[in-house]
A and B are shown apart, each in its own frame.
Chain A
Amino acid sequence: MASLKDLRNRIASVKATRKITKAMQMVAAAKLRRAQESAVAARPYATRMGVVLANLASAMEGKAGAPKLLAGTGNDQVHLLVVATAERGLCGGFNTSIVKLAREHADRLVRDGKTVKIMTVGKKGADALKRNYGKYVVDAVAFTGAKSVQFDHASGVADKVLAMYEAGEFDVCTLFFSEFKSVIQQKPTALRLIPASFDASKAPELGGAVYDAEPEESVILDELLPRNIAIQIFRGLLENAASEQGARMSAMDNATRNAGDMINRLSIKYNRQRQAQITKELIEIISGAEAL
């Protein structure tokens, strides 16, 4: 049985842990607000871009000479999976759930006889995939130490993806990230980047008028499609940042509560033992006095 001193030490150490998790929870809450704001601020650009591209894409449909980024290479043999995760752990199931989704996707592709290539963005995803999927990993990007997600980060990743596509190293590209639904809910999502997919119903109603394109539609598409890849990745990274903080906040909230419960349990045990010891000592003294 643990001595009183042992119990006291344990209570002190759990209390210290609780302090840390509490602090982490509060930091995550502050960061979450900022991350959420920038995720929301980035939405207009991505939506506008989607609308314009959907418009142009529907105009190009069926015409020959559509850009490769829109039409694809005509194959779907080689798949590139871009797996975006966090740089740090201690955020509940956030990293694991993204990696799990990517893994299932990769397994399915391999079963179908496709070739899989993986590019990881973020340290945690790279660590998790290294063991069993290391042979598929072609590139690993990490933004260790970056305070917030910048557009440059995303365009750097996009440049790499585009260079690989130009070199014919893959046919289909899918981005994995976690969509921020709410603080307690983050949804791991797979988004196809190449060939691009658009929701044609989002195109604005022109009332019969036709866009005057300057320069030609195909030239504009050539310029916008690569930029759209960067935008989509940027959006993914921002959603990820908000999700990560949300996941960390609820994980740390749980941890703080568990530590509190544990302290209560240990305190009760400590008090009982202390009382038992006092009773024992009293009995010893009384029975000693009676024996005389």
Chain B
Amino acid sequence: MALHFELVSPARLLFSGDVVSVQIPGTEGEMTILPGHAPVLSTLKPGVVSIQKDGGTDKIFVRGGFAEVNAQGLTVLAETAIPLADLDAAALAKQLKDAEEDVEDAKTDAARAKAAETLDHLKALQAAL
């Protein structure tokens, strides 16, 4: 029995197919979804979705995500989804530095919160690498 998995971003359908299992970074903890999992709704924290399929593992970084498991399978909706293979460590380090400066330079609370969020996102990305 295989698990039907779909990864969808606002711009397009990134992955659709049958897999062995999928590990997702739930807000309240990592979880692995196997075929026949009970229906679950969960929000995701920024992190890596790893897809176990025949002949290898795919790792994809997601942010602003949401997962739904039902009888049809697992669906992950993510605002941002980037395959780990496409990430560039050097470019990321530079962005991280920029983001840190943004947090320091922020004048209002709202701006600081926004900058801090971006920083968190980038840190999560770096940790995933």
Whether A212 and B41, one on each chain, are in contact in the complex, defined by CB atoms closer than 8 angstroms, is yes
The answer to whether B87 has its CB under 8 Å from any CB of chain A is: no
> What residues of chain B lie closer than 8 Å to A212, measured between beta carbons?
38-41
Within 8 A of B (CB), among A44-75: 44-46, 48-49, 52, 55-56
CA distance A97 to B13 in the complex (A): 32
> What residues of chain B lie closer than 8 Å to A204, measured between beta carbons?
70-72
> What residues of chain A lie closer than 8 Å to B42, measured between beta carbons?
213-215, 220
> What residues of chain B lie closer than 8 Å to A48, measured between beta carbons?
6, 8, 68, 75, 77
Whether B40 and A206, one on each chain, are in contact in the complex, defined by CB atoms closer than 8 angstroms, is no
The answer to whether A250 has its CB under 8 Å from any CB of chain B is: no
Within 8 A of A (CB), among B1-47: 6, 8-13, 26-28, 38-43
CA distance A273 to B68 in the complex (A): 77
By secondary structure, the A interface counts as: helix
Whether A151 and B41, one on each chain, are in contact in the complex, defined by CB atoms closer than 8 angstroms, is no
Within 8 A of B (CB), among A200-255: 204-207, 209-215, 217, 219-220, 223-224, 227, 230-231, 234
The number of chain B residues touching the other chain, given as a range, is: 20 to 34
Of B10, B27, B70, B79, chain A has the most CB atoms within 10 Å of the CB of B10
Of A46, A48, A154, A227, chain B has the most CB atoms within 10 Å of the CB of A48
> What residues of chain A lie closer than 8 Å to B79, measured between beta carbons?
151, 227
Whether B11 and A151, one on each chain, are in contact in the complex, defined by CB atoms closer than 8 angstroms, is yes
Q: Can you name the residue of chain B whose Cβ is closest to the Cβ of A56?
A: B41
Within 8 A of B (CB), among A78-108: none
The answer to whether A38 has its CB under 8 Å from any CB of chain B is: yes
> What residues of chain A lie closer than 8 Å to B75, measured between beta carbons?
48
A-B contact pairs, 27 of them (CB 8 A): A38-B11, A38-B12, A42-B10, A42-B12, A44-B13, A45-B10, A45-B13, A52-B77, A56-B41, A151-B11, A204-B70, A204-B72, A206-B39, A206-B70, A209-B39, A211-B40, A213-B41, A214-B28, A214-B43, A217-B41, A220-B42, A220-B43, A223-B43, A224-B43, A224-B66, A230-B10, A231-B10
Interface, chain B (partner A; CB < 8 A): 6, 8-13, 26-28, 38-43, 64, 66, 68, 70-72, 75, 77, 79
* Given A224-B66, A230-B10, 13 additional A-B pairs, CB 8 A: A38-B11, A42-B10, A42-B11, A44-B13, A45-B77, A46-B10, A154-B10, A206-B70, A211-B39, A214-B27, A214-B43, A220-B43, A224-B43
Interface, chain A (partner B; CB < 8 A): 38, 41-42, 44-46, 48-49, 52, 55-56, 151, 154, 204-207, 209-215, 217, 219-220, 223-224, 227, 230-231, 234
